[in-house]
Structure 1
């Protein structure tokens, strides 16, 4: 049986990476969508292109009806509604997305019971971060008797191989303070504050990271109820970009940062800058997951790290591997779930080994 996969926003850098991963690791046929025709696309025999705007509800509904799996890559997700997910639930189609903002995550999670009743598996926040990062935490937490604190940090070199949409996501994430789970209570955090210099694997070594609003800050406390603190931090390479981002977050007037024209200007300028710096820094990503907790009546810290030379391709791996598991019926989890609540650690280990992604571990007893 040949499965049919619909990738919304499949022409973008992340969507293209997801499509390539699925083409490499499955026999599925793929339909990718975009808002305008593109005669330069080299699609291949198993890929079709569909001109589709998400506001064309009937056309969207028809495309979903013809698909076994729908993958939503049409970000940024800060202001997306859940219409795509709702149509999938109504029509019984499984769903994955690369959503990366808490507003969308919360709206999607509100549809959990409806998806359970429909028998639909909807897995949100796949990709690299969130996505593989969440599963990395889940794998580490499995080593503890009582996990108590999660500290997730990410580094991206240059553009990460992603497009302007990811730049928009970064600047949109600087607009508002956000709640984080700290010492068993929700506290308000200002974005791009509290710089920490952490040790990452080579070639990154010691690098600076800052508080950043990610959906993990709300999903991980619910997925792992004994955890009292969840920290999510992000940094750029070279460090020069961190200082520019800090200035944008704390010096620029708030009213200016909330204008669409400002976000578009900053996104395009930043993308041009990183296109140049990519020559020297590469476009890789490092993920560092540190968990503190109790094991054998001792307080221990367990750190796991992974690297990938291309951030966009890593996102494709995170989402594409989940797609493969769903298509092969190895993964079935009715409802709307973040990836760490849906993907068992044994399957995560399997897909990381299949993709030859190395994970390094380090124990420390306090």
Structure 2
């Protein structure tokens, strides 16, 4: 049996290069894919890897090339945002080509489309598809699954992101502009999804020391409102982001900073799961949210390729696809973060 072949779509972007480098470092066979053949070949040369690395040009408006890419791959990791524009073409190609799929999407409507449109096609094709395996959205979903372990009667889940020194790529900047301009936001209240305009507000989230309470933008249009209710029975889900994150100098003019500067982000993601008896919390802290996101998607793809993913084909959120406590602990063991989890999370 041949070794699993891992495709990275959007391999010339910052996240794509990090994903490809991690796969190569783990001895995996990799296809670097995207629209620009010359840039793909330059990245392949930069990363090394020799005969384990090949290049495949496949533009978003070339469904035949995308399908041929998927037919060659065991798992396709999609890194090219904004996923509002790129997600459907690559996801459908993965189904048509019969390969498993992981993406870094964080747009709410992209995530909702996945769960609305793709479960039956994915099941027929026999593929596993994990969406929202990103820092924003993915960490909140995994932590919510961990924090909710053993609890019943849950009233509210809050995913709070404290981020400093974040430097956006061109793709991330375009995604942020789309997210915050969208007036048809998805919310989850009273046990049901709603779509419509949401008046933003300031809130205070009680991060533990050394951060302490922080002023937050609430709600922010992250995908937890779609993903968390799939595996946590609750009446309300909300994501929040520290107000200072987008107020920092250069955050929206940082597309061309070097990799070392971009790696300087600092983060804490904390999730509170609240019921009538109190709350249970989980959190992750560290540096370089880009690398955490990239390695999380690699961990997901390798688990799927090696037969350690979900037992059935279909569409999954991160915490549906993998036991969240052990998955997060593996990220911690790789030196990517520091975790605080309830004991019950590791029993799942």
Q: TM-score, normalising length from structure 2?
A: 0.84
Which of residues 237, 250, 271 is equivalent to 1:289? 271
Residue 185 of structure 1 and its aligned partner are, at CA, apart by 4.2
Residue 86 of structure 1 and its aligned partner are, at CA, apart by 2.1
Corresponding residue of 2:223: 215
Mark the CA change 1:59 to 1:240 in structure 2 (over 3 Å): closer, same or farther. Answer: closer
Mark the CA change 1:89 to 1:189 in structure 2 (over 3 Å): closer, same or farther. Answer: closer
Q: Distance in 1 between matches of 2:328 and 2:247?
A: 35
Q: Distance in 1 between matches of 2:329 and 2:307?
A: 15
Corresponding residue of 2:132: 125
Corresponding residue of 1:12: 13
Deviations 1:302-335 (A, max 9, x none): 1211112101101112211101211221113410
Matched, 1:227 2:234: yes
Corresponding residue of 2:331: 352
Corresponding residue of 1:136: 143
Q: Distance in 1 between matches of 2:74 and 2:307?
A: 12
Q: Distance in 2 between matches of 1:147 and 1:274?
A: 44
3-state DSSP class of the match of 1:78? helix
3-state DSSP class of the match of 2:55? strand
How many aligned residue pairs are there? 330
Deviations 1:137-187 (A, max 9, x none): 101111313322100111222334x41211111111111231311233445
Corresponding residue of 1:265: none
Instruction: Check conservation: 1:159, 1:271, Cα contact below 8 A.
Output: no
Mark the CA change 1:47 to 1:205 in structure 2 (over 3 Å): closer, same or farther. Answer: farther
Unaligned stretches of 5+ in structure 1? 245-267
Superposed structure 1 runs of 4+ greater than 6 Å apart: 278-281
Matched, 1:44 2:48: yes
Residue 35 of structure 1 and its aligned partner are, at CA, apart by 2.4
Instruction: Check conservation: 1:127, 1:317, Cα contact below 8 A.
Output: no
Q: Distance in 2 between matches of 1:349 and 1:81?
A: 25
Instruction: Check conservation: 1:141, 1:291, Cα contact below 8 A.
Output: yes
Unaligned stretches of 5+ in structure 2? 344-348
Mark the CA change 1:111 to 1:231 in structure 2 (over 3 Å): closer, same or farther. Answer: same
Instruction: Check conservation: 2:272, 2:281, Cα contact below 8 A.
Output: yes
Corresponding residue of 1:257: none
Q: Distance in 1 between matches of 2:68 and 2:278?
A: 52
Mark the CA change 1:116 to 1:97 in structure 2 (over 3 Å): closer, same or farther. Answer: same
Instruction: Check conservation: 1:89, 1:115, Cα contact below 8 A.
Output: yes
- RMSD value over aligned CA atoms? 2.9
Mark the CA change 1:124 to 1:229 in structure 2 (over 3 Å): closer, same or farther. Answer: same
Matched, 1:337 2:316: yes
Mark the CA change 1:359 to 1:350 in structure 2 (over 3 Å): closer, same or farther. Answer: closer
Q: Distance in 1 between matches of 2:340 and 2:53?
A: 36
Mark the CA change 1:11 to 1:311 in structure 2 (over 3 Å): closer, same or farther. Answer: same
Deviations 1:165-218 (A, max 9, x none): 111111111112313112334456756821123243566443322121112112
3-state DSSP class of the match of 1:82? helix
3-state DSSP class of the match of 1:234? strand
Deviations 1:272-308 (A, max 9, x none): 39959x97994122211111025xxxx1211211112
